[in-house]
Structure formats: C-alpha cells, structure tokens
C-alpha cells in the first residue's frame, strides 16, 4: 500500500531527537513498529527499509540513535570515515540513554492515533538489531526482528558492558533473528550464544540463516545481497503478520 512520511520532534533528557515516521496512506489503525537504523542513522538506504515495512501495513517510527552527539538530521556516510564516526558515537552513548530513547518512542507510538496501542513491535539492523532486543525488554512488545545484531553476544553497545544477553528472559514477545553466515561481526559462536540464551530462557524465537555478509539488506553497499534480502523480507513480513494477525 502507499505510505505517507513525516518527521516528528521528540525531546529525551532535553535532547532533540528526530523521529522519522512512515504510515500507511489508507486511513485506519495499524500495529506500531519501533525501527532502529545501523550506525549511519537515517540515510536513504535505511529509510527505504522503513518505508517498505510501512507499506505492509505498519506505523514505523525510526529515531536518530545518536541525537545526543550529532546535529538533528545528520546522516553519516557509509564509508571508512563514517564507520569511524558512527562507531565512536555508539561507543560514547550510555546504554541507559539508548533505553531511555526506546521508552520515549514506544510511548509516542502508543499515543499515536494511527496505532493500535497494544500491538507494538520493534526491528533493527546491525547495532539497531541489538537496540531492538533492548527495546523488547520493555513491557508490551509483541514482536521483535533483529537483523545481524551486533554486540549482543559480547556486551558491546555503548559505555560500559551491556547486559542484554543476561536479560533475555525478560522478553515476553516473539523474536525473529536474521543472521548472515559470512558475517564477521556476529560469528558462529556469537550466534550460538544468542540462540542458546533465547532457548534457555524460554523465549519464543525463530532463527534465519543466509549465506550472506553483514548488512546484506542495505542496498547501497558492496555487501548487499538482493536475493537474500528478498528472502528475509518475506520471512520478516510473514512473522509480523502472524504475531499481529
């Protein structure tokens, strides 16, 4: 379906956080999805993913994850210098600040008129996959999709060590994990640690493996794999549809 797009201003701890919002054009009420970018924030490759998801019938809200450090509207270029810049911003952001941002966006989604307030999910890519799991620790999250999530197995996220792996049992909804088997950032032992934690804590989960590299769904990079990306999209949208009905 067609969508509409806009930017919303949120204040979190007196910091201006841009929220990119994509909404199905037909009037109605839809499930709401907290959408997390990778370290490059909300450039075209990421907003195209958000727009595509919205077209399946979801209100998608994507925050700028480094709003405390970068001016509003900043898009970090996906090159060598951008990688340094994005990773440094990730390192300098407190884990508690990431959690505060999640609560702010979830609160916004629940009061948005186009959202069914008890049908909330989250999705993320790379660091955003990790942040999606952090968001799933909040109450009321029914569906979580994590695409090649970095740092869950190692505790690497921001300042300090993230306890995400140890808190998996707090997740109440369903989880879909999407991994590339050629991804050096989430190697096999890391994948196994994540899946084992989900299994041990009884979290309902599904794991998808593709013979692909890191960020294989990002359509502007050398690791983009259209076939794997299309296959993942089919599974992800089916997952959301199954959970939300």
User: In Å, how far are 61, 134, 159 from 13, measured between CA atoms?
Assistant: 19, 19, 17
Residue 2's CB: how many other CB atoms inside 10 A?
8
Residue 40 in contact with residue 10, Cβ under 8 Å?
A: no
Residue 146 in contact with residue 191, Cβ under 8 Å?
A: no
Q: Residue 163 contacts by C-beta under 8 Å, 6 or more apart in sequence?
A: 155
Catalytic residue among 67, 153, 214, 225: 214
Catalytic residue among 126, 130, 146, 205: 126
Q: Residue 74 contacts by C-beta under 8 Å, 6 or more apart in sequence?
A: 41, 64, 66
DSSP strand pairing (3-12 vs 15-24):
antiparallel
What sections of the chain are H helices per DSSP? Answer: 44-54, 80-92, 95-111, 127-136, 188-200, 226-244
b/e 33-54 (16+ beta carbons within 10 angstroms → b): bbbbbbbbbbbebbbebbbebb
Place of tokens 């593709």: 210
Query: Catalytic site residue 183?
Result: yes
Place of tokens 């979830």: 106
Query: Catalytic site residue 146?
Result: no
Query: Catalytic site residue 126?
Result: yes
Catalytic residue among 174, 183, 205, 225: 183
Residues known to be catalytic: 126, 183, 214
């Amino acid at each position: 379906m067609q969508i509409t797009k806009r930017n919303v201003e949120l204040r979190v701890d007196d910091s201006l956080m841009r929220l990119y919002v994509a909404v199905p054009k037909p009037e109605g009420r839809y499930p709401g999805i907290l959408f997390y970018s990778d370290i490059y924030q909300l450039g075209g490759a990421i907003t195209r993913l958000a727009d595509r998801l919205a077209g399946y019938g979801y209100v998608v809200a994507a925050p700028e994850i480094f709003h405390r450090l970068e001016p509003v509207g900043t898009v970090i270029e996906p090159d060598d210098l951008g990688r340094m810049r994005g990773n440094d911003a990730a390192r300098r952001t407190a884990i508690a600040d990431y959690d505060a941002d999640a609560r702010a966006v979830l609160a916004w989604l629940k009061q948005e008129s186009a959202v069914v307030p008890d049908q909330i999910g989250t999705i993320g890519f790379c660091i955003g996959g990790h942040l999606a799991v952090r968001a799933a620790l909040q109450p009321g999250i029914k569906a979580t999709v994590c695409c090649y999530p970095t740092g869950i197995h190692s505790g690497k996220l921001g300042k300090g060590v993230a306890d995400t792996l140890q808190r998996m049992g707090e997740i109440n909804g369903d989880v879909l994990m999407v991994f590339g088997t050629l991804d050096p950032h989430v190697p096999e032992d890391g994948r196994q640690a994540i899946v084992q934690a989900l299994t041990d804590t009884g979290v309902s989960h599904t794991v998808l493996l593709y013979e692909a590299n890191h960020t294989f769904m990002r359509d502007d990079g050398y690791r983009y794999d259209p076939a794997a990306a299309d296959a993942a999209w089919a599974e992800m949208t089916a997952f959301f549809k199954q959970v939300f009905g």
